[in-house]
Amino acid sequence: MEYKYDIVRSVRKTLSVSVSPENRITVHAPWSVSERKIEEFLNSKKAWLDKVVYGNAFKLQANSAVLKYKEVYVCGKKFPLVISDRNQITKDAIYVKSVDKIKDTFIKYFSKDFLELAQRLSEEMKLPANGFSIKAYKGKWGCCDAKKHIVFNYLLFMLPIEIQRYVIVHELTHTICFNHSPAFWRLVSEYEPDYKALRKSLKNYDFLIGLY
Ligand SMILES: [Zn+2]
């Protein structure tokens, strides 16, 4: 196998392979499986791996300025990120005192509009939530708990508005359906007929979650 990969062994029955947005390849393997078997397994997945790795490399290349903290996404568009003496968002650039001020600055500038959109969609869909909040999440875009309180990842403000809207519809639908069953997706499609394409587009932004 031409790719480097890590092997994570555990109590499991089958082999699987995952690729992170940064192209780190991890094989999940049972304790008993030999390295030769793992190589064979990976060779059988070669076409899939090539496709994923190539796609990620393309995305990483297209986002190189974002990855170097020279640019930052706002509503799906890239703006210069300027380290400066203030935390301020203008129509031309995002100014922050340091990269770790991005979170508070984005929350300050974009929460109000986002929460208004969430409230409006909640009313339109007739799916009341028990409050919304915004926070930094590692690993997810949103979350609806059993008490119907919905928390959104502030990094959503970086995504195109139609993807933000999809995530809101997705989480609101969880207020009446907690799993991702066919019934859940049917409900989502009533308010977001294009949800499959939006869900795919959302994956293009997964790398942001590891970045800030
Ligand atoms: Zn969900």
Q: For the chain, which residues score pLDDT lower than 50?
A: none
Distance 184 CA to ligand 1 centre (A): 9
Looking at residue 4, its pLDDT comes to 94
Distance 150 CA to ligand 1 centre (A): 11
Looking at residue 9, its pLDDT comes to 97
Distance 142 CA to ligand 1 centre (A): 8
Distance 146 CA to ligand 1 centre (A): 13
Distance 62 CA to ligand 1 centre (A): 28
Sign of the Cα torsion 72, 76, 78, 84 reads negative
Looking at residue 207, its pLDDT comes to 87
Could you tell me the residue ranges of all domains in the chain?
6-62, 100-210
Distance 169 CA to ligand 1 centre (A): 10
Looking at residue 199, its pLDDT comes to 95
Amino acid at 11: V
Q: Is 44 exposed, middle or buried (0-12, 13-18, 19+ CB in 10 A)?
A: exposed
Looking at residue 132, its pLDDT comes to 97
Phi, psi of 85 (to 5 degrees): -95, 10
Distance 164 CA to ligand 1 centre (A): 14
Looking at residue 138, its pLDDT comes to 85
The three-state DSSP-derived secondary structure of 19-57 is ECCCCCEEEEEECCCCHHHHHHHHHHCHHHHHHHHHHHH
Distance 7 CA to ligand 1 centre (A): 29
Q: What is the pLDDT of residues 125-163, one digit of tens each?
A: 999 999 999 999 888 999 999 999 999 999 999 999 999
Rounded to an integer, what distance in angstroms lies between the CA atom of residue 174 and that of residue 186?
12
Distance 140 CA to ligand 1 centre (A): 10
Which residues fall within 8 angstroms of residue 28, CB to CB, at 6 or more apart? 8, 10, 12, 15, 16, 17, 18
Distance 157 CA to ligand 1 centre (A): 18
What three-state secondary structure class fits 171?
Answer: helix
Q: Which CATH number fits domain 100-210: 3.30.2010.10, 1.20.1070.10, 3.40.50.300, 3.40.50.1000?
A: 3.30.2010.10
Radius of gyration of the chain from Cα atoms?
Answer: 20
What three-state secondary structure class fits 7?
Answer: strand
- Write the DSSP string, 38-106: HHHHHHHTHHHHHHHHHHHHHHHHHTHHHHTTSEEEETTEEEEEEE-SS-EE-SS-EEESSGGGHHHHH
